[in-house]
Amino acid sequence: MFYADIKDIEKWEGINSYLLKNGINTVCREAFCPNMCECYANNTATFLILGKVCTRNCTFCCIDKGIPEKVDVEEPKKIAEYVKRLGLKYAVITSVTRDDLPDEGSNQFARVIDEIKKMDKHIAVEVLIPDFHGRKDLLDNVLRSGPDVVGHNIETVERLYREVRPKAVYKRSLEVLCYIKQKGFITKSGIMLGLGETKDEVKRTIDDLCKYGCDILTIGQYLQPDYRYHDVVRYVPLDEFEYYKNYANDIGIKYVLSLPRVRSSYRAFEIYNLVKGGIENGSSDF
């Protein structure tokens, strides 16, 4: 189910070396994404800003927890330069959660978007943001810079939040998505399966995402990074992924990518183009 072509690995080595040398972080590397070699081979990556240490303690996530490092003021320019070097037409930016900062990192998102757009206004930028505690002023910091897609992951069903996302609030995440949609942006969210959720709970979560304005939904299989993290309760069969895709399409979510290996930013540019082109209800061959 999870594999990488040897040519992808060779391309990955070159890109990974450059990123490490220049102090540019990616969530691909920090979170051990199963698609990393494929994406690097296609000159795509999801940039991780605001350091590599998170202030929250989600039990599924292998990004380091603790006291974060100082914000790198040169980071926006470094990322923009790399986007230019690769000739990217689509850049995805995410971050660790920075509850320790007065602006929770929202202005750094804005600076990265601004630097990329200043370099080339035709480059589309997708951001995957934390909840910023639901503060509209912090959300506005990001939105004012004009991202093309704004994602915030619901991650799991409401019942599992206390166990899986102890510092997050299910309803707050929905309200973040709703606010972004009300401001006129393309919205995106993601769900992991295999954490102990039931089929009815997944359907209710999809219902909630639709109700609160989610345009793009990604659904993937949770994989345990190592023994310290949440157990994989179940490996979900392919036909169930297909069932959730069809269910979400039927209730009105524009585009759903639902496969075991799917992660939030997987094939993000392709999905963005489908949504912008008005192709809905799973009519692509993904």
Place of tokens 């992808």: 8
Enter the pTM of the model.
0.88
The answer to whether 54 is annotated as binding is yes
The answer to whether 28 is annotated as binding is yes
The answer to whether 210 is annotated as binding is no
Across the range 93-116, mean pLDDT stands at: 97
The answer to whether 265 is annotated as binding is yes
Where residue 88 falls among pLDDT bands split at 50, 70, 90? confident
Across the range 108-120, mean pLDDT stands at: 97
Structure tokens that stand for 188 in this block: 């995106």
Structure tokens that stand for 40 in this block: 């690097």
CATH of span 6-276: 3.20.20.70
The whole-number pLDDT of residue 225 equals 86
Residue 154 has pLDDT above 50, yes or no: yes
> Number of helices (H) and strands (E), helices first, in the chain?
11, 9
Q: Measured between alpha carbons, how far is 71 from 55 in angstroms, rounded to an integer?
A: 14
The answer to whether 17 is annotated as binding is no
Of 102, 104, 212, 207, the C-alpha closest to 157 is 207
Residue 187: what residue type?
Answer: T
Starting at the edge strand found earlier in the chain, the sheet holding 149-151 runs 46-49, 90-95, 124-128, 149-151, 186-193, 216-221, 255-258
The whole-number pLDDT of residue 62 equals 80
Across the range 131-157, mean pLDDT stands at: 98
The answer to whether 58 is annotated as binding is yes
Residue 185: what residue type?
Answer: F
The whole-number pLDDT of residue 30 equals 46
Average pLDDT over all residues of the chain = 88
Backbone angles phi, psi at 135, to 5 degrees: -75, 120
Render pLDDT for 200-219 as a digit per residue (tens, 0 to 9): 999 999 999 999 999 999 99
Residue 198 has pLDDT above 60, yes or no: yes
Residue 263, class by beta-carbon neighbours within 10 Å (0-12 exposed, 13-18 middle, 19+ buried)? buried
What are the DSSP calls for 206-265, one per residue? HHHHHHTT--EEEEEE---SSTTS-----PPPHHHHHHHHHHHHHHT-SEEEE-TT--TT
The answer to whether 39 is annotated as binding is yes
